[in-house]
Amino acid sequence: MTEEKFFPKHLTRTVTILALLLLLPLLSLLTGTKAQAAELKNNPTFTFTSTGGTSVSTQANSNETTVLIFGYVGCGKTRSTLNSISSCDWVKRSDIRVIFAETNGHTQEEVLAYEQGYQCPDMTFCYDEDDNIFMAMVEYAKLYGTNGGTYPMIVLIDKDNKVQNLLSGTKTANEILTEIKKFAEIDEVGDTTPPANPGSGIENINYGLNTIDGTVISTKANPNQTTVLLFGYTTCALTKSTLSNIDSSNWAARPDIRVIFAEVYGASLADTKSFAQNFSGKNIIYCHDASALNFNFAMSYLKLYNYTGGTFPYIVYIDKNNKIQNITLGPKTADEILQEIEKFATEDETTPPPAPEPTPGETTSPSETPEPPLTISDVSGLKTASSAAKNIKLTWKKVSNANGYIVYQYSASSKKWIEKARTNSASYTVKGLTPGTAYRFAVKAYIQSADGKQAESKSYASLNTATAPGAVKFKVTPKKKKAVITWSKVKGATGYTIYYKTNAKKPWKKLKSTKTTSYTKNKLTSGKTYIFTVKAYKTYNGKTYTSSFQSKKVKIK
């Protein structure tokens, strides 16, 4: 595969950028090497926008090392580095901050889907549609006199806001931690990357797909599970016949195989749900394409094999070590797909070893049949049923034979999952939350035997959600043929929407959505009474959360 260079990737950028690069000293980084400065550099401060809509500064936080990674969606070297970091232990540390800054102008939705694929809330992902991130990368490169090198570019910033090093190319979590330890006191964290047999194959692309259950599922492989990722569309007969074949097969129900269908032609949640009803089995995960991103995901996979297209469905075979083992184009029978899987994976051993032969002269008695281990299925269908300023109601599908469920809340400060509650019902309301704030929750099912033994589901269902902002405190000042509405800024709000009506029994009419704290409604009738309200809203993870509201009457002068 070709090297992904910092600046050649962006030769179509403006002449200004090219001029900057020509002024840099003629010092090129070799692939995968690092640039070591003679003396420490002051860290330049840039402000990026995260996928959650918050501002992220490159300025160091006190008592925290910052790992700033410049790369782009679709870059294999960037993907490999982020894969390693997302699976390591040190990314969870409170004294290390990891920021990924996308340099190639991908949209908020595209970078968010990319982020969700890694399932790592400890990394902050930032997007940029105006070249600000790319220009920031240029400035960091200038600090080290660099006009070359490969993606990703990794900047290490100490707690005193000094740039300690700049790394180039694919790096493992262990390699980055080794560099951090050269200037920061880091307690022993143990193995930073889980052991795995890398084997052959291509590093998998991690994307977040929206399921018809309202959750986000990652294309990243689960441990001990082969993933069959099928891209197709709901009106395609070949896609339908392939899914029908899989749905009726025996192997689709195996716990070591996961089947995902990703619709690529913009099918809505309702359309994809309707499509899923064609198949009676429950062993395929169906993902809609309301955000119209899945086709781009499919083409990213095809590029890895130098395919430019082909007959649907596109089937990606991903092993348990998160390596792509093959991609096939066109319809396949269930047997043909299983044959592809068996080229790199074997079925989990489930047959117990035979009983030993008896020794001559001994008598044997029937051995006791061991009790089967306690097992419980994973929770599915986790969603936000309602969101208020200080509480969020979560619901999920009931799990057969479950004695109860464990609800977890992720703590951003300690970077740990905290058990929030145990409940016997398939819903729970989390209270005492902060208005206008993003949260992450997870749910596991558990089962108990008669002798008190307990088993939990292997994986948890998780979701990112948010509380609604607090109610807006506003006032309306009547003036000649107009009304001036002003309000105080609401913490955590993305913006505000102003409504009015002329009669309490009539529906609200939307005037405007704005990020400012005032609005003037003109062309009103003197002497007439109007009713106004202002609602705060927060946009997070592609959803909008709206505050409660109060209304005010005014008579126009």
What is the CA 313 to chain-centroid distance, rounded? 25
- The predicted-structure confidence for 207-255, as pLDDT tens digits, reads as follows 889 899 888 888 988 878 999 999 999 999 999 999 999 999 989 988 8
Q: Which residues contact 86 (CB under 8 A, 6 or more apart)?
A: 118, 119, 120, 123, 206
Asked, for residue 94, whether it belongs to a domain, the answer is: yes
pLDDT at 18 over 80: no
Asked, for residue 370, whether it belongs to a domain, the answer is: no
- The predicted-structure confidence for 71-106, as pLDDT tens digits, reads as follows 998 788 898 899 889 888 898 888 899 999 999 888
Residues 242, 332: one domain?
A: yes
Residues 143, 36: one domain?
A: yes
| CA–CA separation, 337 and 245 (whole Å) | 10
Residues 54, 167: one domain?
A: yes
Asked, for residue 195, whether it belongs to a domain, the answer is: no
The CB-side HSE value for 19 (13 A sphere, CA atoms) comes to: 3
- Least confident span in 145-149, 176-180, 270-274, 481-485: 145-149
pLDDT at 12: 46
Whole-model pTM above 0.85?
no
pLDDT at 10: 52
pLDDT at 23: 44
In the chain, the number of structural domains is 4
pLDDT at 372: 66
pLDDT at 317 over 80: yes
Phi, psi of 174 (to 5 degrees): -65, -45
Q: What is the CATH number of the domain that holds 396?
A: 2.60.40.10
Taking residues 536-545, what's their average pLDDT? 85
| CA–CA separation, 57 and 293 (whole Å) | 28
Asked, for residue 347, whether it belongs to a domain, the answer is: no
Location of structure tokens 């925290």: 64
| Domain final residue, candidates 342, 365, 399 | 342
Q: Which residues contact 255 (CB under 8 A, 6 or more apart)?
A: 225, 348
pLDDT at 547: 94
Whole-number Cα distances in Å, 300 to 259, 309, 471, 511: 19, 11, 43, 42
Q: What is the mean pLDDT of the chain?
A: 84
Residues 461, 480: one domain?
A: no
Report H helices in 201-250: 237-247
DSSP of 536-551: EEEEETTEEEE----E
pLDDT at 299 over 80: yes
Contact 546, 508 (CB under 8 A): no
pLDDT band of residue 365 (cuts 50, 70, 90) is very low
- End-to-end, the C-alpha distance of the chain in Å comes to 72
Segments forming the whole domain that contains residue 533: 474-555
Q: Which two tokens stand for residue 324?
A: 């792509």
Residues 26, 104: one domain?
A: yes
Asked, for residue 537, whether it belongs to a domain, the answer is: yes
Q: Which two tokens stand for residue 432?
A: 């005492």
Q: Which two tokens stand for residue 4?
A: 């992904």
Q: Which of 14-28, 230-244, 305-319 has the highest mean pLDDT?
A: 230-244
Q: Which two tokens stand for residue 312?
A: 């649907």
| CA–CA separation, 391 and 180 (whole Å) | 39
For residue 335, the cross-strand partners are none
Q: What is the CATH number of the domain that holds 236?
A: 3.40.30.10
State whether the Cα torsion 290-210-248-402 is positive or negative.
negative
The CB-side HSE value for 49 (13 A sphere, CA atoms) comes to: 17
Query: With pLDDT > 90 as the criterion, what percentage of the chain qualifies?
Result: 53
| CA–CA separation, 88 and 84 (whole Å) | 6
pLDDT at 188 over 80: no
Taking residues 493-519, what's their average pLDDT? 93
Asked, for residue 186, whether it belongs to a domain, the answer is: no
Residues 284, 206: one domain?
A: yes
Asked, for residue 192, whether it belongs to a domain, the answer is: no
Residues 99, 129: one domain?
A: yes
Q: Which two tokens stand for residue 34?
A: 């690092």
- The predicted-structure confidence for 44-57, as pLDDT tens digits, reads as follows 999 998 887 788 89
| Domain final residue, candidates 147, 180, 213 | 180
pLDDT at 412: 74
Residues 213, 176: one domain?
A: no
- The predicted-structure confidence for 406-434, as pLDDT tens digits, reads as follows 999 988 777 788 899 999 999 999 999 99
Residues 459, 479: one domain?
A: no
| CA–CA separation, 462 and 441 (whole Å) | 6
Q: Considering only CA atoms, which of 479, 497, 478 is closest in space to residue 487?
A: 497
Residues 303, 320: one domain?
A: yes
Strands 518-521 and 216-218 come out as: unpaired
Q: Considering only CA atoms, which of 102, 61, 67 is closest in space to residue 85?
A: 67
Residues 440, 534: one domain?
A: no
- Least confident span in 1-5, 31-35, 150-154, 469-473: 31-35
pLDDT at 366 over 70: no
Residues 214, 70: one domain?
A: no
| Domain final residue, candidates 447, 466, 485 | 466
Asked, for residue 351, whether it belongs to a domain, the answer is: no
pLDDT band of residue 393 (cuts 50, 70, 90) is very high
| CA–CA separation, 213 and 383 (whole Å) | 8
| CA–CA separation, 239 and 233 (whole Å) | 7
Which of the two residues, 382 and 350, has the higher pLDDT score? 382
Contact 269, 212 (CB under 8 A): yes
Q: Which two tokens stand for residue 426?
A: 């398939």
